[in-house]
């Protein structure tokens, strides 16, 4: 059982901390110029962080105890392929979900 005091400390501190992280630059730096080398790196924030989150989540999903799961891997491949070819976010998501459920149904 989770301790109530600890829970509220976590909720409040995590709320403040998360806001501080999100506000760190837009709030304090504002529109002052950042150095070129830093901007050059920041342009790749999304294509750096998101794949780093995706890769282990696809190959070793926590929901299956870290074991590789064929429907999830195929769904990921289909989503990526559709996104690359079609450049349509919703289409790629729907294609991925359809693949996941179809394979889960066929393999069960």
Partner 1 sequence: MTSTSVKSAYKQGFRDGAPFILVIVPFSMLFGVLATEAGLSIFETLSFSVVVIAGAAQFTALQLMGEDAPTLVVLASALAVNLRMAMYSASLSPHIGGAPLWQRAIAAYCTVDQSYAVSITKYELTPEMSPREKIFYFFGTVTPVIPMWWIFTLVGALIGETIPASLALDFAVPITFLAIVAPALRTRAHVGAAITAAILSLMFFTIPYNLGILLAGIGGMMVGAQIEARREASQ
Burial bucket for residue 99 (CB in 10 Å: 0-12, 13-18, 19+): buried
26 lies in the site for partner 1, by CB under 8 A: yes
Binding to partner 1 in span 44-73, by CB under 8 A: 44-63, 71-72
Binder among 2, 35, 65, 67 for partner 1 (CB under 8 A): 2
Q: How far is the CB of 67 from partner 1 (least distance, A)?
A: 14
Distance CA 12, CA 33 (A): 33
6 lies in the site for partner 1, by CB under 8 A: yes
CA distances from 69 to 46, 63, 96 (A): 26, 10, 14
74 lies in the site for partner 1, by CB under 8 A: no
């Amino acid at each position: 059982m989770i301790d109530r005091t600890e829970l509220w400390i976590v909720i409040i501190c995590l709320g403040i901390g998360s806001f501080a992280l999100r506000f760190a630059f837009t709030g304090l730096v504002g529109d002052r110029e950042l150095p070129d080398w830093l901007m050059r790196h920041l342009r790749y924030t999304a294509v750096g962080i998101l794949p780093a989150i995706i890769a282990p989540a696809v190959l070793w999903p926590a929901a299956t105890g870290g074991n590789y799961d064929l429907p999830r891997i195929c769904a990921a491949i289909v989503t990526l392929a559709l996104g690359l070819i079609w450049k349509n976010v919703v289409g790629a998501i729907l294609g991925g979900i359809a693949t996941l459920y179809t394979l889960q149904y066929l393999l069960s």
